[in-house]
Structure 1
Amino acid sequence: MEKESVTGLILAGGTGRRFGSDKARAVVAGRPMIERVYRVVAPVAGTVLLSVRPGQEDYGLPVRRVEDPVEGAGPLAGLLAGLEAAETPWLLAVACDLPFLSEDILRTLLAACRPGLDAVVPRTPDGRLHPLCAAYATTVRPVVAEQLAAGRRALHALLDRLGAVRLVDVPAAPLRNINRPDDLPTDLR
């Protein structure tokens, strides 16, 4: 897929309660996690957005900030902000706590995008779906808005509401997210 058809969205609006601080700033192998994620999203997307809480910074990245429309509503609010701002057919939404993510995984997801699909979601060998690293057709915006308005904030519940979701099998290691400092290998801190 041509990168001009894709808007990247880095989801960074969380409070880092489990991490104990702003995990986007946590350094992994010499770089903040959010910078590592940006460096794999930027080559595959024509534009990169950063979803943040109202008043939150942009981390010095060359991105356009979009604020969550409902504060404290989690990644679903960030996804809606990205869908509302995107001017492309596809939105590639990626959480900021995926420091091992590779450009190859993102290209694999985007290669599976087709007209008529609502989302392309990676599935790891353990059967887990990863909606926080997925491609969403921007036409799903009304469904996301409805879910958020109804207080149904889980992204897995959103996937259940979407009509055409393609699952793409990928290895688990690149989608390993970091929720607590102990999740980081000691040799990469």
Structure 2
Amino acid sequence: MIAKTKITGIILAGGKSSRMGTDKGLLFFNEKMFIQHIIDSITPLVSEILIVSENTEYDQLGYKRVEDSIKNSGPIGGIHAGLSSSEREYNLILSCDVPLITSKLLKRLLTKENSVFDIVQFEANGNTIPLIALFKRQCLKKCQELLDQGEKRLRKLVLELRTKTISLPKEEHILVSNINTMKDLNEIKNGVNY
């Protein structure tokens, strides 16, 4: 496994959350904020945690918070901000809306064999998940290039770099589920598909 000392954890908490209507990272599930679930899952695997957000409420958690240097530039902008502030070669990047994620699952991204790729991501339900992924710091250059071109689509970044995709078995799809709406949140609270 890639050594913890070589990995920074980056949590993207700067999205518009338009479907939820509130900052998703600050929502509660099982008496903990979403972002705390993410922090708990990555802490055993990384030596530093950065939160990418303009929301100063995240400062209460005690981690370094960074803001996008290029505003309104979508997930590529968030990744760019995180990688710019990281001093480590490997970066475990997660969105703040996957409260069911586990350390055990994330370890699959961190194997020695995966260290040759620029990006290592999961796939579930036929969809790739680049916002639960391992990014090398050198991806920063390509992020900058795309942002300079006005490109915001994360898919474009993933396609232009050496990417490995790990398909998850059906029973683990729930662990990587994005909670985007109150309906999604109520379903996990009531144990639907869980």
Shorter-chain TM-score above 0.5 = yes
Are 2:56 and 1:56 aligned?
Answer: yes
Partner of residue 165 from structure 1, selected from 163, 166, 170: 163
In the aligned structure 2, how far is the partner of 1:34 from the partner of 1:187? 16
**Equivalent in the alignment of 1:70:** 70
**Equivalent in the alignment of 1:92:** 92
TM normalised by structure 1 equals 0.92
Contact 2:59 2:65 in 1 (8 A): no
Q: Are the structure 2 counterparts of residues 182 and 158 from structure 1 closer, same or farther at C-alpha, using a change threshold of 3 Å? A: same
Q: Are the structure 2 counterparts of residues 19 and 113 from structure 1 closer, same or farther at C-alpha, using a change threshold of 3 Å? A: farther
Deviation at 1:10, TM superposition (A): 0.4
Q: Are the structure 2 counterparts of residues 67 and 113 from structure 1 closer, same or farther at C-alpha, using a change threshold of 3 Å? A: farther
Q: Let me know the Cα RMSD of the aligned residues.
A: 1.7
1:19 partner SS: coil
Aligned length: 186
Deviation at 1:102, TM superposition (A): 0.7
Q: Does 9-18 or 94-103 show the bigger shift?
A: 9-18
2:122 partner SS: strand
Unaligned stretches of 5+ in structure 2? none
Partner amino acid, structure 1, of 2:123: R
Are 2:122 and 1:122 aligned?
Answer: yes
Q: In the TM superposition, what whole-angstrom CA distance separates every residue of 1:141-172 from its partner, at most 9, and x where no partner exists?
A: 1101111121211111111111x111112231
Unaligned stretches of 5+ in structure 1? none
**Equivalent in the alignment of 1:6:** 7
**Equivalent in the alignment of 1:151:** 150
TM normalised by structure 2 equals 0.89
Deviation at 1:9, TM superposition (A): 0.2
In the aligned structure 2, how far is the partner of 1:36 from the partner of 1:67? 21
In the aligned structure 2, how far is the partner of 1:117 from the partner of 1:187? 33
**Structure 1 or 2: larger helix share?**
2
> Where do 4+ consecutive residues of structure 1 move more than 6 Å?
none
